[in-house]
Amino acid sequence: MLSLKLSDCKNCKSLPSIARLLLLKDLLIGGLDEVHKIGAELFGPNQSSAFTSLETLCFESMPNWEVWDPCEGDEQASKFPSLRELSIRNCPQLLGRLPTLLRSLHKLEIIECKRLVVSISSFSSLCELKNFGCEELVDEGTSSAEEVTSLKSASLTNISKFGISAEKALLRFANSEYFNISGWKELESLSQNGLSLVGHRFFTIWNCPQLVSLETEEGILQPDKISGVEFLFISYCEMLNRLPKVLHAFPFITRIKLEKCPGLVCFVESNFPPALKELEIWSCENLQYLFDEKENNKSTSSSRCLLENLEIVDCPSLIFLSSRADICNQLQHLKIHICSKLSSLFLNAKLPVLLKQLDIWGCPMLECIVQDFHETTDLESIRIGGDGNIKSLPRGLDKLSHLQEIRINGCPSFVSFEESGLPTTNLKVLSIQYCENFRALPKCINNFTSLGKLKVVYCSDDISFPEEGFPTNLTSLEISNAPQIYTSLVEWGFNRLSSLQQLNISGEGCSHVVSFPEEGIGRMLPSSLTSISIRSFENLEYMCSKGFQHLTSLQQLSINNCPKLTSLPDKDMLLSLERLFISYCSSLEEGREWSKIAHIPKLDLNLVSTAEDAKEETVPGVSHSLAMNVDVLDETSNGNQSSGSDDKLVDNEDELQG
């Protein structure tokens, strides 16, 4: 036998002599609620050696286990000689000793054993240590540095007492590549426990509420002690008020993430680390700026800064990023969300020249992003939204030959684009949502040869249709609360959009519309369509079958909030349809209409008049399985009508299709 699992034997009080299985490699013991002690019975009589082949040993969910007696004595060296992994999980009463001499042990995992004192003194080959919740962690051995430097990964969480001396901690943990500290309620600085940023590649600190700094004043990191840290993550450290003063001298650090550290006012007091490429700062409520050159007498080394990605979210005290844009002259991705006091990005009103993605959301004090885009010619994406005071985009948009995406969402002050217009070559997405004063699409929009997605949702209700029409290469079109655009689009001809695959129309203000699509040869729907969503046509009575007769690729149809609708397209027009959503169309009745849709594999129907009624009523007369989930219908059929989270409106709007 090579592997054995003893699990959930609720009446078992004593273990068999498993050590007699000489070839056993993997052993798991768990869920034995009546076992209080594990000792000699595990090894059996006259066992001069035991578990000679065992490589992994796991105990888990032993609620009443109190003592583990490994029966060590003169023969201790012969027990568990091949054990590489030892795991003890959720054994809250365990008080006994671990085996003290496990020369082959590479991985030790202790989870939720809150009464256990864990000694790592004799584990000379230990490479990975994971300790989550124990009474005390100790190292009482006298090993030299050569014997304790094998540890490569250490995670120390919710340890009641750290019983390792500063000198021994330096030896034991100095060379671990991955080092995680979390849940140390009394930790004020790393150096008080002999810990340091020096020697680790990936360092994380989480939920240490008393942590003030990563070093004491007496033990400030010296620049001549080169730190190998590549990634630093600090979260939920309420008292942390500064990062190491010599952070700029860390030559290898490429990524830093800070979260829930309200004591931080600025990111660095000197320059950025020279190799830093990614910086994320979340929910640091007192952060005012990243780096202010005016408050620093040292000369900047902005030319050496390699920062490419900067993300700042929910920092309500942020005023600006830096006094100069060229301090981040390699920046390519800039994301600023929910920073209510942000009045400018860079005080010199310029953007980093290599910037590719600009994403600003929920910054109501920001009125101007930049004076112009003339120096930022590599921009590929502009996303702006969230109740800002942006009235228009800066000059020079037409010079951005690489621009592929413009999304403006929730900017009530946004009126129009500058007269210079938009780039016509590579723009693929143009989305304007919830900008109640936006009144005019670009006049030359029909010349946007690469535009695939156009979205105009809940802007001014008198926004007009461009004189030259829409670009015929569109693959996705969504229009809401735009009766003039809809009327003109019907007259211009849906069929001209020969590449259109997704059509999403909301009919607010279109009280004259009684059929969809409206009658007439020029008003046929393009045969390329795979998905159609129509909603909020208050007087729509029937779906015109002729308009659907060439839609052989149509897979999904959604009809929502059309209370006078009584007739669906003929069955022969819906043969390719895989999914049909109908909600809040109270005039549709069972019988003839159901025969038109009985062949469709997936139906989501909710025909009652209001959302409140929908929670109580069902659809009669439909014999096959229906998905009657009101929440799903609300999300898919209403789409972007609902005011969801910021991220849904900005980042995931492609997923909110009818």
pLDDT tens string 577-631: 999 999 999 888 766 788 889 899 999 888 665 544 444 443 433 333 333 332 3
Most confident range (mean pLDDT) of 38-42, 317-321, 526-530, 654-658 is: 526-530
Mean pLDDT of 630-658: 36
Q: Token pair for residue 495? A: 């069929």
User: Do 69 and 39 form a contact (C-beta atoms < 8 A)?
Assistant: yes
Considering the entire predicted model, what is its pTM? 0.81
Would you say residue 651 has pLDDT above 60? no
User: Do 631 and 647 form a contact (C-beta atoms < 8 A)?
Assistant: no
Weakest mean pLDDT among 49-63, 123-137, 511-525, 571-585: 511-525
Q: Token pair for residue 227? A: 């730190």
pLDDT tens digits for 428-487?
999 999 999 888 888 788 888 899 999 999 998 888 888 888 999 999 999 999 999 999
Give the pLDDT score at 519.
74
Give the pLDDT score at 148.
53
Q: Give the bridge partners for 322, in sequence order.
A: 291, 346
Give the pLDDT score at 299.
45
Task: List the one residue out of 250, 348, 340 whose CA is nearest residue 294.
Answer: 348
Give the pLDDT score at 258.
96
Burial 89-110 (b: 16+ CB within 10 A, else e): bbbbbbebebbebbeebbbbbb
Weakest mean pLDDT among 333-337, 393-397, 439-443, 642-646: 642-646
- Alpha carbons 657 and 477: distance in angstroms, whole number: 11
Please name the residue that has the structure tokens 């020079």: 396
Per DSSP (E only), the strands in 120-273 are 128-138, 153-163, 178-182, 202-206, 231-235, 255-259
Model confidence band, residue 657 (pLDDT cutoffs 50, 70, 90): very low
3-state helix, strand, coil in the chain (%, to 5): 15, 25, 60
Give the pLDDT score at 347.
74
Would you say residue 407 has pLDDT above 50? yes
Q: Where are the alpha helices (DSSP H) in 14-62?
A: 40-43
In the chain, the largest separation of any two C-alpha atoms, in whole Å, equals 98
Give the pLDDT score at 47.
61
Give the pLDDT score at 635.
35
User: Do 114 and 134 form a contact (C-beta atoms < 8 A)?
Assistant: yes
Give the pLDDT score at 339.
93
Would you say residue 328 has pLDDT above 50? yes
User: Do 461 and 438 form a contact (C-beta atoms < 8 A)?
Assistant: no
Helix (H) or strand (E) holding 85: strand 85-89
Q: Token pair for residue 19? A: 């050590």
Mean pLDDT of 129-134: 92
- Alpha carbons 170 and 46: distance in angstroms, whole number: 42
More confident residue, 591 or 336: 336
Long-range CB pairs of 4-10 (<8 Å, 24+ gap) are 4/28, 5/30, 6/30, 6/32, 7/31, 8/32, 10/34
Give the pLDDT score at 504.
96
Give the pLDDT score at 652.
41
- Alpha carbons 251 and 226: distance in angstroms, whole number: 8
Mean pLDDT of 496-516: 93
- Alpha carbons 179 and 182: distance in angstroms, whole number: 10
Q: Which residues, other chains included, contact 655 with Cβ-Cβ below 8 Å and sequence gap of 6+?
A: none
pLDDT tens digits for 216-266?
654 556 555 667 889 999 999 999 988 887 787 788 899 999 999 999 998
Per DSSP (E only), the strands in 90-237 are 107-119, 128-138, 153-163, 178-182, 202-206, 231-235
Mean pLDDT of 546-575: 92
More confident residue, 240 or 646: 240
Mean pLDDT of the chain: 82
- Alpha carbons 258 and 260: distance in angstroms, whole number: 7
Task: List the one residue out of 619, 580, 624, 572 whose CA is nearest residue 602.
Answer: 580
